[in-house]
């Protein structure tokens, strides 16, 4: 029997030879994909990084449940929010 994921759309990442330790949120709908990484370094603890990923997943999935939901528009809006937040912090913004 296949192992059931306790956190759908969220994957734990720990790279032995790279500096990333945290979670990846990835949601796909109608050939559109939204991906965001939640670093333990940024959120302080595993628990807080996972909580942030779960909260964003809940917000996005709630919007996708609406009758007239456009996945591309929803994902693009969240990507723009992330870029704006990075720019406000003075971080490098990736296209």
pLDDT greater than 80 at residue 3? no
pLDDT at 72: 96
Q: Are 9 and 26 in contact (CB under 8 A)?
A: yes
pLDDT at site 16: 73
**For the chain, domain boundaries:** 10-89
Is a pLDDT exceeding 60 seen at residue 93? no
Please name the residue that has the structure tokens 């449940």: 65
Q: Please give the pLDDT value at position 18.
A: 74
Q: Which alpha helices (H) appear in 1-95, and where do they start and end?
A: 40-43, 46-64, 71-89
pLDDT for 33-80, tens place per residue? Answer: 999 999 999 999 999 999 999 999 999 999 999 999 999 999 999 999
Q: Are strands 21-29 and 10-14 parallel, antiparallel or unpaired?
A: antiparallel
Cβ atoms 37, 52 nearer than 8 A: no
């Amino acid at each position: 029997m296949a192992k059931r994921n306790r956190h759908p759309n969220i994957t734990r990442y720990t790279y032995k030879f790279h500096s990333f330790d945290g979670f990846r949120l990835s949601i796909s709908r109608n050939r559109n994909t939204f991906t965001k990484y939640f670093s333990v370094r940024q959120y302080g603890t595993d628990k807080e990084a996972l909580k942030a990923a779960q909260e964003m997943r809940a917000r996005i999935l709630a919007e996708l449940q609406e009758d007239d939901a456009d996945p591309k528009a929803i994902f693009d809006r969240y990507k723009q929010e992330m870029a704006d937040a990075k720019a406000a912090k003075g971080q490098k913004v990736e296209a």
